[in-house]
Chain A
Amino acid sequence: MARVVVLGGGVAGHTAATFAADWLGKEHEVVVVTPNAKWNWIPSNIWVGVGEMTKEEVTFDLDPVYQKAGITYKQAKALTLNPEGNASSDKPFVTIEYTGQGKVGKTEEVSYDYLINATGPKLNFAATPGLGDANGLGEFTVSVCTADHAVHASHELHKCIDKMKKGERQKFLIGTGHGMCTCQGAAFEYIFNIEHELRKAGVRDMADLQWISNESFLGDFGIGGLHMKRGGYAASSRLFAESLYSERGVKWLIGAHVNKVEKGKVSYELLDGSMGEQEFDFAMLIPPFAGVGLKAFDKAGEDITATVFAPNGFMKVDANYAAGAYENWKASDWPKTYQNPTYKNLFAAGIAFAPPHPISKPMSSPNGTQIFPTPPRTGMPSGIIGKAVAHSVCDLIKKGSGAHLHHASMAEMGAACVASAGKGLFDGSAAALTVYPVVPDFEKYPGIGRDLDYTFGEIGLAGHWIKHILHHMFIYKAKLNPGWTLIPE
């Protein structure tokens, strides 16, 4: 009997664990270690953040789902990793600390045959003074990164709406809270949801909406932008994004590294080296992501964290980390199997794997401050990678160490993204985008790096309906309801 331990219960971890349990059956054990008691469909946090959905509509209890799947669930966080075991045993193990299940603070060593690291990110609010600290979100801004953050954001938003109804003008600042952030798409969706809510409340004229981000051009989205067919042209996402911002009266400030947040004010540095300030009454700034800080030790107890993890805390996998400058980057730098090169029974999935380099071109100000988006690994790619890794691990268990490992390179997969504003069936609007592949392959698709037949985007009600369907479909799937394996990631 083999034991597969999955660290993390988000999109990648939940997908990996549930498929592994389904494919392995009762002959083997799947253990999920996650500090959360609830699963969260994070894309819909945007709707929670404007009060269109409740926390309960985007979360559900993990325990009954894992019981149904025959998965051992430990509500705990991983602290250390011993891939060689220790002085008394050769069996690799992970040390965890419980955060629930009546064992808060207790530690335990969980041995494994295969480990899938899908911890997701640490929300590194502490990277920007005033944005927050090591304990989380600060007092001056809001966030939609978790369901609880989104509930808080909604309360603050409605306070502003009340002020506007009383005639007090409000300024909204939405975007990224540091020069090295990812997830611009979430902030993009949030600012247009706020705009929609303000219109609905009849106070749009009382609001100034300001976008601030680390993108070097609007529409970069952390993937270096994209091109799509539009009116007989291959049009850049820059045109698409600038058009939407202009249409909705949202001003934009790009190439910005927010270096300080104070009450009602952010300070920033731009790519040209100039410094500036933006005042706000309401600010939602995405924090940068980092690894969760797992430490690794060898059999003798020596610290081997630098062997297993990259300096940013994400796990090293089969990527080319020596690609060097942007001019040398290739699609083949991106990992295919997500297997750790040193310890072959270690895999990573979703945000937890260390990317070889960004997707957007790195840029820095004359002062040496790096200002560019880091690569997104969320949503559809996360799920696909989680499933591929689970497939590889199951084959290694069932067919032996020579089994073929499954591939899921972000340079060979596409992603669908729907940013929808509003919640009603007919009063919403969405920007529906697909990009193929996620990581541009300039050798295969010279010039624009992507396949124009499968990279497209448009705005309208249709995308809005798709967003609704995706919300219900993925929660249905994550609850392991009948037919869940037939729903694609």
Chain B
Amino acid sequence: MKEIEKYVKPYDASFTTMVPTSFVKFFRTCKIWQFIRFIIINIKMLIVVRKSH
């Protein structure tokens, strides 16, 4: 959360958007979770590729 405190300033453009919490940021780099997402994203992308040909 320290980075949010650092970069988001009251009534600045960044103040009106959503920012990730440490929970979200943890899962972005959690290797087990990201491996599962890797499989899911690949499957989704393959479906999009298949629909596009």
Query: Chain A interface (Cβ within 8 Å of chain B)?
Result: 239, 242-243, 245-249, 251-252, 380, 384, 387, 412-416, 426, 429, 432, 434, 436, 454, 456, 458-463, 465-466, 488-489
Given A243-B19, A247-B19, A384-B53, are A462 and B37 also a contact pair (CB < 8 Å)? yes
List 16 A-B residue pairs with CB atoms under 8 Å apart, sorted by A's residue number: A243-B17, A243-B18, A245-B14, A246-B7, A247-B4, A248-B7, A384-B52, A412-B52, A414-B48, A415-B48, A434-B45, A460-B37, A462-B41, A466-B38, A488-B53, A489-B53
Given A249-B6, A454-B44, are A465 and B52 also a contact pair (CB < 8 Å)? no
Question: In the complex the two chains form, what is the Cα distance from A382 to B37 in whole Å?
Answer: 27
CB-CB under 8 A from A460, the residues of chain B are: 27-29, 34, 37
A387 nearest in chain B by CB position = B53
A246 pairs with B17, CB closer than 8 A: yes
Question: In the complex the two chains form, what is the Cα distance from A461 to B35 in whole Å?
Answer: 8
Question: In the complex the two chains form, what is the Cα distance from A459 to B16 in whole Å?
Answer: 20
Chain B 11-53 interface 0/1 with A at a Cβ cutoff of 8 Å (1 = within): 0011011111000000111010011011001101101111111
A49 to nearest B CB, angstroms?
24
Assuming A462-B35, A488-B50, what are 15 further A-B pairs, CB within 8 angstroms? A242-B16, A247-B20, A249-B6, A426-B29, A436-B51, A436-B52, A454-B47, A456-B44, A458-B37, A458-B41, A460-B37, A462-B37, A462-B38, A466-B45, A488-B49
CB-CB under 8 A from A434, the residues of chain B are: 44-45, 48
A254 to nearest B CB, angstroms?
10
CB-CB under 8 A from A242, the residues of chain B are: 13-14, 16-17
A366 to nearest B CB, angstroms?
22
Question: In the complex the two chains form, what is the Cα distance from A87 to B27 in whole Å?
Answer: 69
A252 pairs with B13, CB closer than 8 A: yes
A434 nearest in chain B by CB position = B48
CB-CB under 8 A from A416, the residues of chain B are: 45, 48-49
B14 to nearest A CB, angstroms?
4
Interface size class of B (residues with CB under 8 A): 20 to 34
B49 pairs with A432, CB closer than 8 A: no
B13 nearest in chain A by CB position = A252
CB-CB under 8 A from B7, the residues of chain A are: 246-249
A454 pairs with B38, CB closer than 8 A: no
B49 pairs with A414, CB closer than 8 A: yes
Question: In the complex the two chains form, what is the Cα distance from A460 to B19 in whole Å?
Answer: 15
Q: Which of B20, B28, B35, B52 contacts A414 (CB 8 A)?
A: B52
A461 pairs with B18, CB closer than 8 A: no
B15 nearest in chain A by CB position = A246
Given A413-B52, A465-B38, are A459 and B28 also a contact pair (CB < 8 Å)? yes
Question: In the complex the two chains form, what is the Cα distance from A461 to B30 in whole Å?
Answer: 8
A427 nearest in chain B by CB position = B29
A235 nearest in chain B by CB position = B18
B44 to nearest A CB, angstroms?
6
A247 pairs with B3, CB closer than 8 A: yes
CB-CB under 8 A from A488, the residues of chain B are: 49-50, 53
CB-CB under 8 A from B45, the residues of chain A are: 416, 432, 434, 466
Question: In the complex the two chains form, what is the Cα distance from A489 to B50 in whole Å?
Answer: 10
A14 to nearest B CB, angstroms?
17
CB-CB under 8 A from A436, the residues of chain B are: 48, 51-52
CB-CB under 8 A from B37, the residues of chain A are: 458, 460, 462
A219 to nearest B CB, angstroms?
10
Question: In the complex the two chains form, what is the Cα distance from A432 to B52 in whole Å?
Answer: 18
Instruction: Choose among B27, B35, B48, B50 the residue with the greatest number of A CB atoms under 10 Å from its CB.
Output: B48
B51 pairs with A461, CB closer than 8 A: no
A364 to nearest B CB, angstroms?
23
A466 pairs with B41, CB closer than 8 A: yes
Instruction: Choose among A249, A387, A456, A460 the residue with the greatest number of B CB atoms under 10 Å from its CB.
Output: A460
Question: In the complex the two chains form, what is the Cα distance from A434 to B51 in whole Å?
Answer: 12
CB-CB under 8 A from B52, the residues of chain A are: 380, 384, 412-415, 436
CB-CB under 8 A from B28, the residues of chain A are: 429, 459-461
CB-CB under 8 A from B34, the residues of chain A are: 460-462, 465
